[in-house]
Structure 1
Amino acid sequence: MSVDARQAVRWGAGVLAIALVAGGGGYWIGQRGGPASDDGSTAAGRKVLYWYDPMVPAEHYDNPNSLSSMGMKTIPRYANEPEGPNAAPGITIDPAARQNLGLRVATAEIGGLPSTFTATGTIDFNQRNVAVIQARTGGFVTRVYGRAPGDVIGAGAPIADVQLPEWGGAQAEFLAVRRLSKPELTAAARQRLRLMGMSEGLIAGVERSGQTNGTVTITSPIAGVIQTLDARAGVTLAQGQTLAQVTGIGTVWLNAAVPEAQAGMVKVGQRAMARLSAFPDESFTGRVIAILPTAQADSRTLTVRIELANRGGRLRPGMFSNVMLGDGGDQALLVPSEAVIRTGARTLVMLALPDGRYRPAEVRAGREGGGKTQIIAGLAPGEKVVASGQFLLDSEASLTGIPARALESGE
């Protein structure tokens, strides 16, 4: 193989594996009408002005066998190719070369960007559904009902029997006033019993039997889990002393750890779908009821509180869950995510211009989802971008100094 042939092979392998011809600040890639003859013409009759190396375009040569100062094989500059400061910037690619490169073009379109994402969390008690059971007046515990912390009880389940001497005295006064047959005094005495915490059923029983009942059975007003239990037989109680605390389990909270970068996609009232490893074939739907105001410094996450219905009490605090958050998303200008070039300093797309040229354009990108990226600025609906092979074109544009379309100007 001759030296010229070896140089030609080196040029083809080293520079994008295709022939590059400068065009208005870009390159013409591929063959443009066949090899040139010694008299400066091609098989298609196109006029060759000079030969040059795209790596050093200032050097011009008068024959096709020239080597540039970089030792590279020169290529022809044709008379009908745009050149100079008034030429439109861009890269023009021969159709055959374009097919060989596998360039794929997509259109920027308005569409809905899915904004769903998955986070992890744990089940917790609903701290808004808590009952504190107290002694309304001083007394002592006469009986307990075999309860313990952690027991699941129903609404109205007995906790303890408490003897309340003050209630017995107030009931005796009520019966004495009632015997006076003065409705006003009787009503006032009955109201006093209500204010002391006696139920209508207890008052009615005293009125019906004519006997005082200073022993009351303390019951749970809600169904749930006993969290604390201080009722023990023989214990003397002070007014307002807590006997037990019960947390309801009809609904539970799912505290999800949402990455800080995705916190803006979550809103109070938004629906959420949870899946637990304990029930792999089921999903549980709830809604976001709160976004806690403090971020976790170590994990850079925010806690999103989701309320879930707990039918049958199957969701137990401490269970691990995956939760899907988000919604259908708003309408936005979208391009394929693979078309976006992120350099670190800026974000670019490679425009496919109507005249068959390609030029980088700076854009401002937003959210991603479903293989699409939102373009906030720098691109208009209907413009076409290169979705495959754009990194090659961007490298060539950078090599020849083709400026990217500015984000502010859009030109």
Structure 2
Amino acid sequence: MNSPMKRLALLSGLALALGATALYAVSSATVVAEEQEPTTKEAAQTERKVLYWYDPMSPQQKFDQPGKSPFMDMQLVPRYADEGGDSATVSIDASITQNLGMRLATVRRGALANSLEVVGNLTFNSRDIAVVQARTGGFVERVYARAAEDLLEAGAPLADLLVPAWVSAQEDYLALRDAGDPDLLAAARQRLRLAGMPPALIARFERSGQVQALWTVTSPIAGVLQELNVREGMTLATGQTLATVNGLRSVWLDVAVPEAEALGLHQGQLVEARLPAFPGEVLSGSIDAILPQANLDSRTLRVRVELANPDGRLRPGLTAQVRLARPAQDDALLVPSEAVIRSGRRALVMLAEGAGRYRPLEVRLGQETAGSTQILNGLQEGQQVVASGQFLLDSEASLRGILAQALASPDTQPTPALHAAQGKVVEIDDGSVILAHGPIKTLGMPSMTMSYPLADPALLDWITVGDQVQVSVRETDDGLQIERLDKLEAQP
């Protein structure tokens, strides 16, 4: 073999040797990778420590190993140590909370301001009303130029009336006066009074000795003419109402106080009022009455304050900013008002539990003032609540089916959380219902159809087979139990 051929053979052998070596190396790396992959997966799985496995349908039964549930045709669900044994919280990464601008506030004790700012409007004083009536039958001879809502002075004329019955009584009185019998004269004077003649008209008749055929009806008080029910030529009956006048010596300030802020109000309490019509002036008064019926639309109590009006410048219809003094509370449990989520039926806060976990919690509210709200039940001093961004957390909790923890008495154990899902009623049995429901995310349960016991048979009063429902279940020692069952509106 010549030299070129030898070199070619040597190069070919060397290439084959190198290729075999590379193939062996790749194969070895693959084997090593395959041997290491289960180890990596196992490490990833063991990053979160599992406390135990359980069946969501029988959470009281715990298992040491994963597998299929002996009760249901489903896999057991792990309970992790970092879940704190509680699935009723929302977990948010720390970086996300910074991006959302989430802000926490500490539940603290402090003093509540002892005043309440509300609004009100001036109304007529219904106790200061004068009603002018016909004392006896007669005729309207003249009506003065008056109309409803005119301002009247005391003694302002309203109408001239002709009363025939008074004419004959006056003539009899004059005849007896000439007779000189004091007893008969006294009886005649009494007859004039019983006929309805006003004392001032009787005195004028006695002084002049002339029969007074006309009676000029006047306003007995100064105020606003509310009604004038006479016209020229009318025939009047005894007791008929001629006019109604509402006085302005004092007015009522009708104040609307939110029912949640009415604690501590009482009759005689001092009130300050400021009217836009009189800038810079402060009017003082006192609570005359707390009316017994609340306004159903605005959920407010009506408080009546009486204000003196000696110069008559306070007119019904004017608005006022009112300050009501209330008993001070020096040791109230307070949170920022912005931290409270009001749903209409109840009030919630998002309780920060640390490590990015937040729990919706029901609270009972007290007074609210100066941006702070009193907490009567549900929180303790030193806890932290979300003051900014809580509505996003509440929405996330609703999407996950997490319901707020209900209030519990201090001497009782906390009630287990409710877990919500939507489903359809398949069958109704005595004390239970078969539901085809979607996943219950807070329990890790998939969609399924099964029977659930009812906490109260009355939950089915308005439910029939085929209804779409919102179901809320609670974990008990005997398994899941339906606590709420709300019918959903049919979609068009």
What TM-score comes out, normalization by structure 2 length? 0.49
Residue aligning to 1:181 = 180
Deviations 1:137-177 (A, max 9, x none): 11222233322222111011111221211112112222333
CA contact (8 A) 1:269 1:288 kept: yes
Residue aligning to 1:290 = 289
Tell me, which stretches of 5 or more residues in structure 2 are unaligned? 1-46, 52-102, 354-360, 394-407, 414-492
Alignment of 1:93-242 (within 5 A): 108=109, 111=111, 113-119=113-119, 121-242=120-241
Indicate how the Cα distance of structure 1 residues 260 and 177 shifts in structure 2: closer, same or farther if over 3 A, else same: same
How far is the alpha carbon of 1:298 from its aligned partner? 3.0
Give the whole-Å Cα distance in 1 for the aligned partners of 2:144 and 2:387: 76
Does residue 367 of the first structure (1) align with residue 376 of the second (2)? no
Tell me, which stretches of 5 or more residues in structure 1 are unaligned? 1-54, 60-101, 352-360, 396-405
Residue type matched to 1:131 in 2?
A: A
Alignment of 1:7-22 (within 5 A): none
Alignment of 1:275-286 (within 5 A): 275-286=274-285
Give the whole-Å Cα distance in 2 for the aligned partners of 1:152 and 1:390: 56
Residue aligning to 1:326 = 324
Residue aligning to 2:305 = 306
Q: Secondary structure at the match of 1:179?
A: helix
Q: Secondary structure at the match of 2:293?
A: strand
Indicate how the Cα distance of structure 1 residues 107 and 167 shifts in structure 2: closer, same or farther if over 3 A, else same: same
The range that moved more, 178-187 or 150-159, is 178-187
How far is the alpha carbon of 1:248 from its aligned partner? 1.2
How far is the alpha carbon of 1:284 from its aligned partner? 2.9
Give the whole-Å Cα distance in 2 for the aligned partners of 1:155 and 1:376: 55
How far is the alpha carbon of 1:253 from its aligned partner? 2.5
Deviations 1:85-142 (A, max 9, x none): xxxxxxxxxxxxxxxxx99978736x564241313x3332222222111211112222
Residue type matched to 2:279 in 1?
A: P
Residue aligning to 2:398 = none
Give the whole-Å Cα distance in 2 for the aligned partners of 1:363 and 1:295: 24
Aligned length: 303
Alignment of 1:84-95 (within 5 A): none
Deviations 1:377-398 (A, max 9, x none): 6899xx7666999999xx9xxx
Give the whole-Å Cα distance in 2 for the aligned partners of 1:390 and 1:207: 85
Alignment of 1:249-398 (within 5 A): 249-319=248-318, 321-331=319-329, 333-338=331-336, 365-374=365-374, 376=376
Indicate how the Cα distance of structure 1 residues 362 and 390 shifts in structure 2: closer, same or farther if over 3 A, else same: farther
How far is the alpha carbon of 1:346 from its aligned partner? 7.0
How far is the alpha carbon of 1:229 from its aligned partner? 1.6
Give the whole-Å Cα distance in 1 for the aligned partners of 2:244 and 2:324: 36
CA contact (8 A) 1:228 1:246 kept: yes
Indicate how the Cα distance of structure 1 residues 115 and 387 shifts in structure 2: closer, same or farther if over 3 A, else same: farther
Give the whole-Å Cα distance in 2 for the aligned partners of 1:236 and 1:310: 38
Indicate how the Cα distance of structure 1 residues 385 and 113 shifts in structure 2: closer, same or farther if over 3 A, else same: farther
Indicate how the Cα distance of structure 1 residues 350 and 267 shifts in structure 2: closer, same or farther if over 3 A, else same: farther
Q: Secondary structure at the match of 1:116?
A: strand
CA contact (8 A) 1:131 1:245 kept: yes
The range that moved more, 225-234 or 361-370, is 361-370
Indicate how the Cα distance of structure 1 residues 115 and 254 shifts in structure 2: closer, same or farther if over 3 A, else same: same
Indicate how the Cα distance of structure 1 residues 258 and 150 shifts in structure 2: closer, same or farther if over 3 A, else same: same
How far is the alpha carbon of 1:245 from its aligned partner? 1.6
Residue aligning to 1:24 = none
What TM-score comes out, normalization by structure 1 length? 0.58
Indicate how the Cα distance of structure 1 residues 339 and 408 shifts in structure 2: closer, same or farther if over 3 A, else same: farther
Q: Secondary structure at the match of 1:295?
A: coil
Give the whole-Å Cα distance in 2 for the aligned partners of 1:410 and 1:374: 23
